Structure 1
């Protein structure tokens, strides 16, 4: 049975609705790419015009079911500010509120438990500089040690400190986290970070010596990325195509 949610488009600003549509799309794209973990993990987006509120998934829905209208709006202490029959994931609130509070320029935070991401998060050396994808990741990467399920408010300070100014993070023994100024940016970071982990595991599985990218090349990867996308940014280039794909394969997120 397909769940039906009444549209709230007329109850929010056009700016919030636009963010809701992109966020719902991101949830469904995570499912489409096989990055979801039943009802676990989460993606959040800051509410335009209100820095202390953000949108997050209804705890209990599969990512493939989420719509723009079903997203929950919460305030800075995790209270719902619009009616919803679903609860808020407490671990999700802890992780996302930590980043939103510490990084005012960040408008979207994406967290996954992908098989490849969790596997690499358990490796002592973390991300290795062995692929072009890893070169992009290593210009902007942080690590956070595992502290159990993210329920303690005290962990928020440590997580924010470990993230610093990075937009990509390996959560040790846990998974991956990315963030960006837009939903599209956070999603593109996750795509590259997860692919980096997948390539690394395949390369290691071959049992041969690995060739690492020289440090002088790694240090220029950030500038190379800007050049190859002509300053527009990869996220802005790929997001329209991802939405077209989603409309073909799992329409209905934008209601």
Structure 2
């Protein structure tokens, strides 16, 4: 395997971010959300607004570890001497959000079966479940333009996203972002559950939508069930404990 970044060559904050992101990749593999060597989870390097970490192109999610993540800037320049390439589509899509959205510290893009299925429907995500109701009014949509490698599509992605931080890429998949990785993880988990339930409900019968006034109460009260450590933190920590029992090599 190619050489990787050394812990001694980076700040403690960067190493901590690398471990957090590597853990996330392993969790996605465990959950069945990976897609061979494709798709991406990126995380901005603390204290370096124009630098972010991305998976090494060619490795599966189960092979990602803290030291082999690639550190690049928003222009695509490799900053840590990594010998690994970066997927062009991943760079085009993620760099534009990291460039223009100060709060987009973590960005997750997947091609799960349920996410792609819902993205391919005319209605998109419907308010038919506990999870889907949390996203009502909070999802942006972007029409499919082919594989995302043309810089000019990045401008349309940002424009279509607007003030929202969850996007359905029509006929393509899902995209979530947040100010922390644990929060982005929980958003993705919740969106994935909503999509899975919508697909299952459609097969079971005629889905029944939740009334708007009930959705408003539901969204208002959601914060009341969160622990005070930050959105997604206990959820992510619980999953880190799961993957640690399986394989701790992501920490290296």
Shorter-chain-normalised TM-score: which range?
Answer: over 0.9
The equivalent of 1:221 in structure 2 is 218
The equivalent of 1:248 in structure 2 is 245
Please give the TM-score of this superposition, normalised by the length of structure 1: 0.94
Matched, 1:209 2:206: yes
Cα distance in structure 2, aligned partners of 1:195 and 1:226? 18
Alignment of 1:1-255 (within 5 A): 3=1, 6=4, 8-206=6-204, 208-230=205-227, 232-255=229-252
Alpha-carbon offset, residue 219 of structure 1: 2.1
Q: RMSD in angstroms over aligned alpha carbons?
A: 1.4
Q: Report Cα offsets for 1:153-194 as digits up to 9, x if no partner.
A: 001111011112222111101101111111111111111111
Cα distance in structure 2, aligned partners of 1:102 and 1:198? 31
Contact 2:128–2:210 (Cα < 8 Å) also in 1 = yes
Cα distance in structure 1, aligned partners of 2:135 and 2:184? 13
Cα distance in structure 1, aligned partners of 2:227 and 2:241? 23
Cα distance in structure 1, aligned partners of 2:81 and 2:2? 15
Q: Is there any run of 5+ residues in structure 2 with no aligned partner, and where?
A: none
Residues matched between the structures, number: 252
Contact 2:28–2:61 (Cα < 8 Å) also in 1 = yes
Contact 1:110–1:178 (Cα < 8 Å) also in 2 = yes
Q: Report Cα offsets for 1:125-168 as digits up to 9, x if no partner.
A: 00010000101122521111111100010011110111122221
Larger mean Cα displacement after TM superposition, 72-81 or 161-170: 161-170
Larger mean Cα displacement after TM superposition, 14-23 or 228-237: 228-237
Contact 1:21–1:254 (Cα < 8 Å) also in 2 = yes
Cα distance in structure 2, aligned partners of 1:237 and 1:139? 26
Cα distance in structure 1, aligned partners of 2:229 and 2:219? 13
Q: Is there any run of 5+ residues in structure 1 with no aligned partner, and where?
A: none
Please give the TM-score of this superposition, normalised by the length of structure 2: 0.96
Alpha-carbon offset, residue 238 of structure 1: 1.0
- The 3-state SS of whatever aligns with 2:38 is coil
Structure 1 residue runs of 4 or more that deviate by more than 3 Å after TM superposition? 3-7, 230-234
